Amino acid sequence: MSQELMMDLPDINRRRLLKGVGIATGLALTIGINDLVRAAVAEPAKKYGGDAMPGGLKEDVLVFVSIGSDGIVNIVAHRSEMGQGVRTSLPLVIADEMEADWARVRVVQAEANEAKYGNQNTDGSRSMRHHFEPMRRIGATARMMLETAAAAKWGVPRNEVRARNHQVVHQPSGKTLGYGELAVAAAKFPVPVRDNLKLKSAAEFRYIGKQNTRNVDGQKIVTGTTHYGIDTQLKGMLHAVIARPPVLGGKVKSFDASAALKVPGVLKVLELKSSSLLPPLFHPLGGIAVLASNTWAAIKGREALKIVWDHGANAVYDSQTYRKILEAAARKPAKVVRNHGDAAGVLARDGKKFVAEYYQPHIAHGTMEPPAATAQIVNGKCEAWACVQDPQAALDAVAAHLGFKPVNVRVNVTLLGGGFGRKSKPDYVVEAALLSQAMKGKPVKVTWTREDDLHHDYFHTVSLEHMECALDAKGMPTAWLHRTTAPTIASTFVANAKGGAPFELGMGAVNIPFNIPHMRVESPEVQAHTRIGWFRSVSNIPHAFAVQSFVAELAHNAKRDHRDYLLELLGPARKVNPDSIEDGWNYGESPQRYPLDVGRMRHVVELVTSKAGWGRKLPKGHGLGLAFCYSFVTYIAAVVEVVVGEDGEISIPRVDIAVDCGPQVNPDRIRSQAEGACIMGASLTLTGEISFKNGAAQQSNFHEYQVLRIDEAPREIHVHMVEHALDVPLGGVGEPVTPTIAPAICNAIFAATGKRIRTLPIRDQLKA
Amino acid sequence: MVLLEINGQSRQLEVPNDMPLLWAIRDVAQLTGTKFGCGMALCGACTVHLDNEPVRACVTPVSAAVGKKITTVEAVGEDKVGQAVQRAWLELGVAQCGYCQAGQIMSATALLRATPNPTDEEIDEAMSGNICRCGTYPRIRAAIKLVAKGGTK
Ligand code: FES
Ligand code: FES
């Protein structure tokens, strides 16, 4: 066992775990197994998957499992719950492998501590993909230690006992011992080394891949007794709202708080230092904070503030003008990021060509729970409660801003009322901590109003995708050029960064496996003027909108069926090494383990079209549209049926989605993620837009930033899952469906009406 | 000082008359099941019942609730229909993040009390004021129909 491992398991952690779960008196399993892999196997040159993440993977049974003498098995959920079901799905893997009875499992939410739990950044559709196998090994370790303890107690050979549904059975005699009775004894036995672990076979699974484990938070959700970030109540707590600079990089020139201070309930008005320096990182934006005895008073107080802003250099940002800047950049040669053959040469020659451009504006996450956090400082230690996707990032940011050592900061993770990427950026937690510090440690809750949320998001990027093709006599592309033009997420982390980052280009720009002789992708450089962040499926959204719409346009141009044309472009089933198509990123996964599998891509296209009745006869005004996406190492294809009324009104009676994410752990939650991502995709297609004027976001609340409601949502969503055995590695689930929806809807509209949409959102484009 | 009846209990709250009921319930009465989503009657997250009628608490001043029975999601299960709605929600796994669901449940309960067997159009009408950013709408519709059919145990 390594030194590092020993240091990961100080006693204090154990006590904290026990305290956290209340009644777990008989601590079960001691000593961790942790990263024995890494110690045992020769270190590969490059790490992939969970091993490459900050904090890596921790497989310590002590950290993740404890058993009370009452037999209750406490399992730690170290990732954040935002609706994807992770607080249920990861613990059920441990429970299954350790033969625990789900009814006697309690889930304990981990605080921020990556040294202890391994990576906690709940982002990038990674939780199950990275942690399925570690969770299995933790569960198997617990099971084997319990079996060893029972065999010793009975004085029988180890191979005569078997763990089964929360007890160990001596098979020849039928004697049993419950997990609660074995907990203390099990702790005294050595932890099996990883090579000796016996994992269950898939046939032995009780919960994995089944649908018999209800959401652990379900009952509390329907009775309104859960704790989200916005729900924290502490004694003596102050409620804060903040007036932030409307323009990124702006600051307060002067302010007058006299009227605000007269609002009943307002206790204090404070200036928060503006961080006008780039890059924005997770810094609070600064501004004027109003602290009050309740949220309402704080909101009223803020309305009464008089503030003169210095808007700074980004006041030039105007979405109409910026579209022209994007177009100009997209029409000039730019940095080449993939080049096979001589696309530029072929396109320069005379011959049949097809050119199209696709535009998408900024969009906001609009989580139903706006950002919110509470912090207090007691005896030089800060404790925060917050809805964060990346707890460790929140802790580190708080510590840095307070000038505290990280060990003196604790971040407790609440439930998240939606995340979608917004809550990976913990600026709001830092605000709460700074205000508490300014108030001598008093507990302060910062609540973002909806206006704050829409004005100060880390926005999904605006984009202009320029597509060009040279065509042969049959209308098939001989050369392909894609110029993907958008301010980059990297600008949030590196001042004035420009051009697509590898992780953006690797989301469906460079890694398009079409069977075209000359392929070229370019990445023009454009300046960001607001905070750019990742949004559920990130760059896959604009890239799939462009590529999947463009292919449908090419098929129509060639007078071919879209599906057949698409399959011909994909070419024969084969495995493509991502490195060979200049995708060195590959979602952080090993190119050997996760090649781009064209066979699986073809299969989802074939599956979804057959399930949706592709080619069936439709009434007037109806149309079917198809799109696929390879997103977060999962293969998705969707067929959308739209109806366009005489007045241009769009409705979506049916969507079929084929999902190939490898083996399924919690199939019902995969389906619900597909349904939700579909509706979010439809939302951004039909109405999603944040526009800027004079540097500031123009939409303030849900009347201006419209998201789909029940009457507009697709009426039926059919999710078709591709089954796999465990030899296939897991893919992402939370994000991958989103990008297919916009192009599938636009392709369906074209089929229904002959009108091609190249600018999102559609809003009333069909009404003209 | 305002006297309110919340979930069958009289509560003396020290709040101004014009404070929206939402903040009186959340911050002062400290019942946090009722959620804030927009503050402008646009999202339905704050839906509570006043004498069994659904209202948006974020735009209802406390003065308008005086003398009326306020019911929040914490107590809606004491009612038969409310309980059936909660069960249907669990049975069909409606919730994702769950944040909007208090409001959805309050709206659905009010709908089903008034219209025990709603049509799709009636569901649209009653539920379109409640946004779910996670996109649980197909399951919300199915759960309402499950209650209408008397399908929950
Ligand atoms: S918070 Fe009241 S309707 Fe949105
Ligand atoms: S379940 Fe998340 S907003 Fe509805």
Residue type for position B39: G
Q: Residue A16 has what pLDDT?
A: 29
DSSP-based three-state secondary structure for A351: coil
Query: To probe the interface with A, which of B36, B87, B109 has the most A CB atoms within 10 Å?
Result: B36
- My answer on whether B45 and B83 are in the same domain is no
Q: Which pLDDT value is given to residue A50?
A: 96
User: Residue A17: what pLDDT?
Assistant: 27
Question: What rounded mean pLDDT belongs to chain A?
Answer: 93
- Does B66 share its domain with B86? no
Residue A579 has pLDDT above 80, yes or no: yes
DSSP string, A465-504: EEEEEEE-TTS-EEEEEEEEE---GGGGTSTT--S--HHH
CATH assignment at residue B140: 1.10.150.120
Choose the weakest-confidence range: A542-546, B32-36, B72-76, B147-151.
B147-151
Indicate if the pLDDT at residue A463 is higher than 80: yes
pLDDT computed for residue A278 by the predictor: 83
Last residue of a domain, one of B55, B71, B87: B71
- Please indicate, yes or no, whether residues A273 and A324 belong to a single structural domain of this protein: no
A40 — pLDDT class (breaks 50, 70, 90): very low
The answer to pTM > 0.90 is yes
Which pLDDT tens digit goes with each residue over B30-66?
999 999 999 999 999 999 999 999 999 999 999 999 9
Measured in Å, residue B104 CA sits from the centre of ligand 2 at: 9
Last residue of one domain, picked from the residues A214, A242, A267: A214
Which of B39, B56, B71 delimits the end of a domain?
A: B71
Q: With beta carbons less than 8 A apart as the criterion, state whether A570 and A494 touch.
A: no
Evaluate whether residue A4 is within a structural domain. no
Same domain, A158 and A262: no
- Identify the band that residue B152 occupies on the pLDDT scale cut at 50, 70 and 90: low
Is the same domain home to A473 and A406?
A: no
Rounded percentage of chain A residues whose pLDDT exceeds 70:
94
**Mean pLDDT across the stretch A748-752?**
98
| End position of a domain, from candidates B46, B71, B96 | B71
Burial A515-526 (b: 16+ CB within 10 A, else e): ebebbbbbbbeb
**For residue A768, is it within any domain?**
no
Q: Does B135 touch chain A (CB under 8 A)?
A: yes
Statement to judge: residues A309 and A330 lie in one domain: no
In a domain, B93, yes or no: yes
Q: Does B40 touch chain A (CB under 8 A)?
A: yes
Q: Across the interface, do B136 and A82 touch by the CB < 8 Å criterion? A: no
Alpha helices in A482-632 (DSSP H): 502-505, 540-557, 562-570, 598-612
A224 part of a folded domain: no
The 3-state secondary structure of A393-424, one letter per residue: HHHHHHHHHHCCCHHHEEEEECECCCCCCHHH
Residue A39 confidence (pLDDT): 38
Q: How far apart are the first and last CA of chain A?
A: 70
Which ligand places an atom closest to the C-alpha of B60?
A: 1
Cα of A675 to nearest chain B Cα, Å: 7
Q: Look at the block and give the residue holding tokens 């669990």.
A: B90
User: Which one of B48, B133, B136, B140 makes the best mutation probe of the A interface by having the most chain A beta carbons within 10 Å?
Assistant: B133
Instruction: Answer yes or no: is A531 within a domain.
Output: yes
pLDDT at position A27, please?
A: 30
Nearest to B124 among A416, A672, A711 (CB): A711
pLDDT of A44: 52
The candidate with the shortest Cα–Cα distance to A38, out of A51, A55, A54, is A51
Dist CA A222 CA B147 (whole Å): 15
Does residue A376 carry a pLDDT above 70?
yes
Shared-domain flag, residues B25 and B61: yes
DSSP structural state of residue A371: -
Helices (H), chain B: 21-23, 80-91, 101-114, 120-127, 137-148
CA distance A317 to A246: 12
For chain B, how are helix, strand and coil distributed in percent, rounded to 5?
A: 40, 15, 45
Residue of B nearest to A445 (CA): B27
| Residue A464 and residue A440 in one domain | no
- Residue A261: helix, strand or coil by DSSP? helix
Looking at the fold, whether B60 and B94 belong to one and the same domain comes out as: no
pLDDT band at B125 (very low <50, low <70, confident <90, very high): very high
Please check whether residues B118 and B90 belong to one and the same domain.
yes
Residues A596 and A624 in one domain: yes
Residue B29 sits in a domain whose CATH number is 3.10.20.30
Cα separation, A461 vs A236, whole angstroms: 40
| Closest atom of ligand 2 relative to the B134 alpha carbon | 2
CB-CB contact of A608 with A638 (8 Å)? yes
- ipTM field: 0.98
How far does the centroid of ligand 2 lie from the alpha carbon of residue A417, in Å? 7
Give pLDDT, residue A274: 76
Report phi then psi at A581, rounded to 5: -115, 30
Q: What band does A323 get if pLDDT is binned at 50, 70 and 90? A: very high
Are the C-beta atoms of residues A368 and A420 closer than 8 Å to each other?
no
Contact A749, A755 (CB under 8 A): yes
Rg over CA atoms, chain A:
27
Residue A18 has pLDDT above 80, yes or no: no
By residue range, what is the domain housing residue B9?
2-71
Verify that B65 and B81 share a domain, yes or no: no
Chains A–B, number of C-beta pairs less than 8 Å apart: 179
Average pLDDT for chain B: 97
pLDDT at residue number B1: 87
A20 pLDDT band, cuts 50/70/90, is: very low
- Locate B54 and state its tokens: 């659904």
What is the count of structural domains for chain B? 2
Q: What is the mean pLDDT of residues A436-442?
A: 98
Are B46 and B84 contained in the same domain? Answer: no
d(CA A417, CA A419): 7
Closest CA to A532 of A359, A690, A384, A755: A690
* Confidence check: pLDDT of A669 > 50: yes
Question: Are residue A462 and residue A378 in the same domain, yes or no?
Answer: no
- Tell me the Ramachandran region of residue A402: left when phi exceeds 0, alpha when psi lies from -120 to 50, beta otherwise: alpha
Cβ-defined contact of B138 to A675 (cutoff 8 Å): yes
Q: Check whether residue A427 and residue A340 sit in a common domain.
A: no
Task: Compare CB distances from A678 to B86, B135, B141 and report the shortest one's residue.
Answer: B135
* B143 shares a domain with B80: yes
**Interchain CB distance below 8 Å, B73 and A264:** no
Answer yes or no: are the C-beta atoms of A550 and A746 closer than 8 Å. no
> Does one domain contain both A388 and A502?
no
Q: In the predicted model, is pLDDT for residue A87 greater than 70?
A: yes
Q: Is residue B35 located within the same domain as residue B81?
A: no
Q: Name the residue of B35, B48, B58, B72 to mutate for ligand 1: max ligand atoms within 8 A of Cβ.
A: B58
Kindly tell me the burial class for residue A209, based on how many C-beta atoms sit within 10 Å of its own C-beta (0-12, 13-18, 19 or more): middle
Q: Determine, yes or no, domain membership for B153.
A: no
pLDDT digits (tens, 9 = 90+) for A199-240: 999 999 999 999 889 899 999 999 999 999 999 999 999 999
* Averaged pLDDT for residues A713-718: 98
A85 and A63, same structural domain?
Answer: yes
Residues A437 and A574 in one domain: no
Residue B130 near chain A (CB below 8 Å): yes
Which pLDDT does position A277 carry in this prediction? 72
Residues B81 and B65 in one domain: no
Contact check, Cβ <8 Å, A368/B34:
no
Q: Note the pLDDT tens digit of each residue in A240-294.
A: 999 999 999 999 999 999 999 999 999 999 999 876 678 999 999 999 999 999 9
Distance CA A332, CA A311 (A): 32
β-sheet bridge partners, residue A643: A622, A651
- For residue A5, being part of any structural domain is answered with no
Q: Phi first, then psi: what are they for A266, rounded to 5°?
A: -75, 130
- Centre of ligand 1 to C-alpha B78, Å, is 24
Average pLDDT in the A639-650 region?
A: 97
CATH of the domain at A615: 3.30.365.10
Are the C-beta atoms of A526 and A485 separated by less than 8 Å? yes
Same domain, B141 and B83: yes
B98 shares a domain with B46: no
Q: How far is CA A168 from CA A156, A171, A316, A493, B144, in A?
A: 12, 9, 70, 52, 43
Grade residue A187 by pLDDT with cuts at 50, 70 and 90.
Answer: confident
Domain tally, chain A: 3
pLDDT at A276: 62
Query: Does one domain contain both A665 and A747?
Result: yes
Helix (H) or strand (E) holding A169: strand A167-170
Q: What are phi and psi of A697, to 5 degrees?
A: -65, 140
Structural tokens at position A143: 């099971």
> Which residues, 6 or more positions from A203, have their beta carbon under 8 angstroms from its beta carbon?
none
Burial class (CB in 10 A: 0-12, 13-18, 19+), A324: exposed
Chain CA centroid to CA A64, Å: 23
Average pLDDT over residues A558-562: 98
Q: Is the pLDDT of residue A41 over 50?
A: no
Domain that holds residue A414: 229-313+371-447
pLDDT at A38: 34
